[in-house]
């Protein structure tokens, strides 16, 4: 399943290129992997009973800053955000009828202190862009009941996240969508 998620961005590159050409943005980093405040990316893949979600977001969207947490207030904020990311069933609205349980989760960010070597190396750079990566795997007893994914909880908890670019592989093939606070639900 991990291979499926890793292949997802490549499978949807033609779709992203078409959308970029249609919208003709003037952003200097207009690509699938761009670091843009207010914008997060979510890869979702449903395969049998397994649903995988991979969220990538600039730390600014979630924590409110990107520098290493040094003050007690900053450390408390990072800890609070990490704690909330450890409750994916609150952030991602999955239909109760699907009976999904969290099978595994991984959280990565330089702010969480997991990669000390990277932090030391990055301190020498003027423009440090801290990202938060969250990978969740759910086992769903009734995957046919997964008709939608509601991100309202994510937008509500992290209001600096203005839009989420979603790439989904599900029973009906692959699709891409851009969700916002006013349009927070994606149908499978």
101 occurs within a structural domain: yes
Is the pLDDT higher at 84 or at 116? 84
Segment 48-62 mean pLDDT: 97
Distance between CA atoms of residues 53 and 167, nearest Å: 10
pLDDT at position 175, please?
A: 92
Q: Could you report the per-residue pLDDT of 13-26, keeping only the tens digit for each?
A: 444 433 333 333 33
135 occurs within a structural domain: yes
Segment 141-158 mean pLDDT: 95
18 occurs within a structural domain: no
β-pairing, 39-47 vs 163-170, is: parallel
* Overall number of domains in the chain: 1
124 occurs within a structural domain: yes
Reported pTM: 0.76
19 occurs within a structural domain: no
Rounded to the nearest 5°, which phi and psi values hold at 18? -65, -45
118 occurs within a structural domain: yes
Is the pLDDT higher at 50 or at 121? 50
Q: 85: domain range?
A: 2-12+35-187
Question: At residue 155, does pLDDT exceed 60?
Answer: yes
65 occurs within a structural domain: yes
178 occurs within a structural domain: yes
């Amino acid at each position: 399943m991990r291979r499926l998620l890793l292949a997802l961005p490549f499978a949807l590159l033609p779709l992203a290129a078409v959308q970029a050409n249609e919208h003709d943005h003037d952003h200097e980093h207009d690509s699938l992997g761009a670091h843009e405040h207010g914008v997060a990316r979510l890869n979702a893949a449903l395969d049998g009973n397994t649903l995988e979600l991979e969220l990538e977001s600039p730390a600014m969207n979630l924590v409110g800053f990107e520098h290493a947490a040094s003050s007690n207030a900053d450390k408390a904020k990072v800890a609070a955000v990490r704690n909330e990311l450890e409750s994916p069933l609150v952030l991602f609205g999955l239909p109760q009828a699907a009976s999904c349980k969290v099978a595994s989760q991984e959280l990565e960010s330089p702010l969480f202190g997991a990669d000390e070597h990277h932090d030391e190396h990055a301190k020498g750079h003027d423009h440090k862009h801290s990202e938060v990566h969250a990978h969740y795997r759910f086992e769903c007893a009734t995957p046919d009941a997964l008709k939608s994914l509601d991100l309202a909880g994510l937008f509500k908890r992290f209001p600096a996240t203005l839009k989420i670019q979603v790439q989904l592989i599900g029973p009906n093939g692959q699709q891409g969508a851009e969700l916002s606070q006013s349009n927070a639900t994606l149908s499978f």
